[in-house]
């Protein structure tokens, strides 16, 4: 029986972990990636079909060749700060790319679609519990582009019967504990890998972006979720769709928030090394606090996050960093 699942962005950080989880669950992950921000060396668990989401003809070819039973859509530009400087790229690549993919999937009769969305679609909502019914009021172009894709999927569901599970991620961190895949962005912008680089002397001190937020220690608060737990939810989401349970949105976060200073403290205790840091200005587009207030994924999907405590996330990221020097072969 065909068990092919098309994984866009399978060469990237989250997509490569998803491919490992899909393979372990008996599926064949077919990576569709242009390798612009991902790494061919991260594609270890199934075939790589190189292509760009803006190239509809190439998408049609890959759907015809592999006849996937579902699509998981990870490929996207995903940096909040960059999206404020280059909003046009975010709208074009994220929204047009997803639109092409959804149209190609419908044309190929591949009607189960799992989508990586983000808590950045909620925006900065002080004192609001962020659950799946919260208003979506993004304050950066990245979040706005993801919200638009959610709307596309809803419309495609109504018009063409495209079934979707939408996951709104909080801050994804950590790495495969076996260090087969991990986090490596070029350039790196994420807090934990930058901190590990600074600890290791690979770059100068980490800059804390803003110390005057209205939080107990003045720095931004985020809800960190382990990448392995996150991708487990995607396998459950695929099974949810295959069992006919219908369209659903799930937050993926733990409900615990940590400030930037708290992440620094935990990194110090896990690595037993000093974390060189300096205090800097706020980064445009950053929300003060993003913490999930939902247990829908646990209650309805049966999601059981096992590694999403900050120590485990930093420890696994540190192991990957040390085993591989923090990057794939170039």
Residues marked active site are found at 142
Exactly one of 90, 209, 240, 258 binds ligand UFG (CB under 6 A); which one? 209
What is the separation of C-alpha 72 from the centre of its chain, rounded to a whole number of angstroms? 12
Beta-ladder partners of 250: 167
Binding ligand UFG (rule: CB under 6 A), the pick from 28, 194, 249, 312 is: 194
Tokens of 266: 């935990």
Q: Cis peptide before 259, with omega less than 30 degrees from 0?
A: no
Stretch that binds ligand UFG, among 93-101, 113-121, 129-137, 155-163 (CB under 6 A): 113-121
Over the window 88 to 107, marking each residue x when it contacts ligand UFG by CB under 6 A and - when it does not, the resulting string is --------------------
SS (H, E, C) 53-122: CCCHHHHHHHHHHHCCCEEEECCCCCCHHHHHHCHHHHHHHHHHHHHHHHHHHHHCCCCEEEEEEEHHHC
Closest CA to 315 of 219, 212, 205, 196: 196
What pairs with residue 208 in β-bridges?
279
Please tell me whether residue 214 adopts helix, strand or coil conformation: coil
Counting contacts by CB under 6 A, is residue 290 touching ligand UFG?
yes
The mark string for 163-192 relative to ligand UFG (x by CB under 6 A, - otherwise) is -------xx-----------------xxx-
**Number of residues near ligand UFG (by CB under 6 A):** 21
Binding status of residue 14 toward ligand UFG by CB under 6 A: no
> Binding ligand UFG by CB under 6 A: which of 4, 100, 118, 294?
118
Instruction: Kindly state whether residue 206 participates in binding ligand UFG, applying the rule CB under 6 A.
Output: yes
Q: What is the C-alpha to C-alpha distance for residues 11 and 17, in angstroms, rounded to an integer?
A: 9
Q: What is the rounded CA–CA span in Å between residue 55 and residue 313?
A: 36
Q: Is 119 in the site for ligand UFG (CB under 6 A)?
A: yes
According to the binding rule CB under 6 A, does residue 120 interact with ligand UFG?
yes
Query: Which window, 59-67, 96-104, 117-125, 232-240, contacts ligand UFG (CB under 6 A)?
Result: 117-125
State the residue number with the nearest CB to ligand UFG: 220
Least CB distance from residue 211 to ligand UFG, whole Å?
9
Q: Is 286 in the site for ligand UFG (CB under 6 A)?
A: yes
Residue 90 C-beta: closest distance to ligand UFG, Å:
11
Of 23 and 89, which CB lies nearer to ligand UFG in the complex structure? 89
* Contact with ligand UFG (CB under 6 A) among 44, 92, 154, 283: 283
Report CA torsion sign: 116, 121, 123, 128.
negative
State in Å, rounded, how far the first CA of the chain is from the last one.
36
> Minimum CB separation from ligand UFG for residue 68, in Å?
25
Q: Are the beta carbons of 116 and 18 closer than 8 angstroms?
A: no
Q: Determine, following the binding rule CB under 6 A, whether residue 211 of this chain makes contact with ligand UFG.
A: no
Contacts (Cβ under 8 Å, ≥6 apart) of 57: none
Pairing of strands 221-222, 70-73: unpaired
Answer yes or no whether residue 260 interacts with ligand UFG by CB under 6 A.
yes
Q: Rounded to the nearest whole angstrom, what is the least distance from the CB of residue 137 to ligand UFG in the complex?
A: 14
Closest CA to 183 of 169, 166, 196, 170: 196
Residues in contact with ligand UFG by the rule CB under 6 A: 78, 80, 118-120, 170-171, 189-191, 194, 206-209, 220, 222, 260, 283, 286, 290
């Amino acid at each position: 029986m065909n068990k092919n699942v098309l994984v866009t962005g399978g060469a990237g950080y989250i997509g490569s972990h998803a491919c490992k989880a899909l393979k372990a669950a008996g599926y064949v992950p077919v990576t569709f990636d242009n390798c612009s921000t991902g790494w061919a060396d991260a594609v270890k668990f199934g075939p790589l079909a190189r292509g760009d989401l803006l190239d509809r003809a190439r998408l049609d070819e890959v759907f015809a060749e592999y006849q996937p039973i579902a699509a998981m859509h990870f490929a996207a530009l995903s940096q909040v700060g960059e999206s404020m400087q280059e909003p046009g790229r975010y709208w074009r690549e994220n929204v047009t790319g997803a639109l092409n993919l959804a149209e190609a999937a419908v044309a190929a009769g591949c009607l189960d679609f799992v989508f990586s969305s983000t808590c950045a679609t909620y925006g900065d909502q002080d004192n609001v519990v962020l659950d799946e019914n919260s208003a979506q009021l993004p304050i950066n172009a990245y979040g706005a582009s993801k919200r638009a894709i959610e709307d596309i999927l809803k419309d495609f569901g109504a018009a063409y019967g495209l079934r979707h599970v939408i996951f709104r991620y909080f801050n994804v961190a950590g790495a495969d504990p076996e260090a087969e895949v991990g986090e490596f962005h070029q350039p790196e912008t994420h807090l934990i890998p930058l901190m590990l680089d600074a600890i290791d002397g690979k770059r100068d001190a980490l800059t804390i972006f803003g110390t005057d937020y209205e939080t107990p220690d003045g720095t931004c608060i985020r809800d960190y979720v382990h990448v392995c737990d996150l991708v487990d939810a995607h396998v459950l989401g695929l099974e949810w769709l295959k069992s006919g349970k219908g369209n659903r949105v799930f937050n993926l976060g733990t409900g615990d928030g940590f400030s930037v200073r708290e992440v620094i403290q935990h990194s110090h205790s896990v690595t037993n090394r000093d974390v060189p840091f300096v205090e800097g200005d706020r980064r445009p587009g950053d929300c003060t606090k993003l913490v999930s207030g939902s247990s829908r994924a646990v209650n309805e999907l049966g999601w059981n996050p096992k590694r999403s405590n900050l120590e485990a996330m930093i420890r696994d990221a540190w192991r990957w960093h040390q085993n591989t020097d923090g990057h794939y072969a170039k």
